[in-house]
């Protein structure tokens, strides 16, 4: 068997292609580079859902109305949920949504991570949650509900680019979890809950918060190399580097670096923070090349995610929930694709435990 199921093919999909050798990501035939320059999150949802649900109205309006619908659950958030890490609180609230396989269930599951995460963040700060505005795009309304103010054009574009960039990515751990549950015909909510549970681990979607911890610990560009060298000597992994599939630079890192630079040009990112991140990235790549010469380790999606989400005003403990706001589109499309295939996923294991002979 292959440890970590490396290189094992476990699904056929029309949704996305992760080309690890050439550092390319294709979503339904369109390369990520093209997608990020011309699409908002709603466009990518239409692309991902095409053929999996009957068309029913314009995506932006339908999703806006669904944000308003799921907001009623926010009133049920009790203090125990509010003190949990935001991704755990959001998952508990998501579990209240009924299971189903239709477009209405899918839209509720897309709307809810954004509505619930920002409401929980405001409740944690002792602020009243903001009701959704159905007329706005998903990225704009999410930022407005977070801060209570209408975001700038650059901020909306920054969040849209992030959501588009992370919307789907082949058979990553959380998407595989979604497909396993979908294969039992349990329903979309169950699939999304399983996927979210897989996403929150630090080896998958939990890395960007620790990326900021790393920047803080490095402190200044001149200290970056020494701090990173110490971390590697202690046997630690550098968060935001390395990938199971990419053997070259993760194309999503460049898509997000572009968004970070765009926001820096509009004054929304402190130039000193960007300079520190670039120094840490350069030092990390240099050290990893020397310490792990046999394993190409390059920047992954999480590194610039950290900078972008921080600049958009999300606290670091909420980053995994924001990742889920984007990836949920991919989870749902994969879950539908798997459920329509109709075959239960049920691999084999090799028993390596003892065999006790009972005397006759």
In angstroms, give the least distance from the CB of 250 to ligand COA. Answer: 7
Give just the sign of the alpha carbon dihedral 213, 215, 220, 222: positive
Q: Which of 302, 310, 334, 337 is catalytic?
A: 302
For residue 278, indicate whether it is catalytic: no
User: How remote is the C-alpha of 337 from its chain's centroid?
Assistant: 20
Residues 310, 260: Cα–Cα separation, whole Å: 10
Secondary structure (3-state) at 276: helix
Q: Which residues lie near ligand COA (CB under 6 A)?
A: 4, 203, 207, 237-244, 292, 295, 297, 300-302
Cβ–Cβ under 8 Å, residues 335 and 181: yes
Q: Which residue has the tokens 């995506």?
A: 59
Is the CB of 224 or the CB of 239 nearer to ligand COA?
A: 239
Residues 181, 192: Cα–Cα separation, whole Å: 9
Is the CB of 100 or the CB of 296 nearer to ligand COA?
A: 296
Residues 164, 312: Cα–Cα separation, whole Å: 16
In angstroms, give the least distance from the CB of 287 to ligand COA. Answer: 9
Q: Which of 169, 243, 281, 334 is catalytic?
A: 243
In angstroms, give the least distance from the CB of 278 to ligand COA. Answer: 17
Secondary structure (3-state) at 53: strand
In angstroms, give the least distance from the CB of 208 to ligand COA. Answer: 8
Is the CB of 64 or the CB of 210 nearer to ligand COA?
A: 210
Residues 270, 307: Cα–Cα separation, whole Å: 10
Is the CB of 124 or the CB of 247 nearer to ligand COA?
A: 247
The residue whose Cβ lies closest to ligand COA is 242
For residue 302, indicate whether it is catalytic: yes
Catalytic residues: 243, 302
């Amino acid at each position: 068997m292959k440890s970590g199921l490396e290189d094992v093919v476990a699904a056929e999909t029309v949704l996305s292609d992760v080309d690890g050798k050439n550092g390319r990501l294709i979503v339904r035939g369109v390369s990520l580079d093209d997608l990020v320059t011309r699409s908002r999150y709603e466009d990518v949802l239409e692309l991902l859902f095409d053929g999996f649900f009957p068309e029913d109205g314009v995506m932006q309006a339908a999703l806006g109305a669904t944000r308003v619908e799921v907001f009623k659950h926010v009133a049920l958030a009790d203090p125990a949920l509010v003190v949990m890490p935001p991704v755990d609180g959001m998952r508990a609230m998501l579990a209240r949504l009924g299971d189903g396989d239709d477009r209405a269930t899918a839209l509720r599951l897309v709307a809810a991570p954004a509505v619930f995460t920002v409401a929980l963040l405001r409740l944690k700060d002792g602020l009243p949650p903001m009701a959704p505005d159905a007329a706005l795009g998903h990225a704009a309304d999410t930022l407005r509900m977070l801060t209570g103010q209408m975001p700038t054009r650059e901020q909306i574009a920054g969040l849209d680019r992030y959501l588009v960039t992370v919307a789907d990515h082949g058979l990553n751990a959380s998407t595989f979890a979604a497909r396993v549950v979908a294969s039992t015909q349990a329903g979309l909510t169950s699939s999304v809950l399983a996927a979210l549970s897989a996403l929150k681990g630090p080896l998958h979607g939990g890395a960007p918060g620790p990326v900021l911890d790393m920047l803080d610990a490095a402190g200044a560009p001149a200290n970056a190399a020494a701090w990173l060298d110490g971390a590697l000597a202690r046997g630690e992994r550098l968060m935001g580097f390395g990938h199971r599939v990419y053997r070259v630079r993760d194309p999503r890192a460049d898509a997000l670096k572009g968004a970070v630079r765009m926001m820096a040009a509009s004054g929304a990112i402190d130039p000193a923070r960007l300079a520190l991140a670039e120094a840490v990235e350069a030092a990390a790549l240099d050290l990893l090349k020397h310490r792990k010469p046999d394993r190409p380790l390059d920047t992954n999606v999480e590194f610039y995610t950290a900078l972008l989400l921080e600049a958009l005003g999300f606290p670091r403990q909420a980053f995994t929930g924001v990742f889920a706001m984007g990836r949920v589109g991919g989870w749902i499309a994969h879950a539908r694709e798997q459920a329509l295939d109709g075959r239960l996923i049920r691999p084999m294991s090799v028993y390596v435990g003892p065999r006790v002979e009972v005397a006759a």
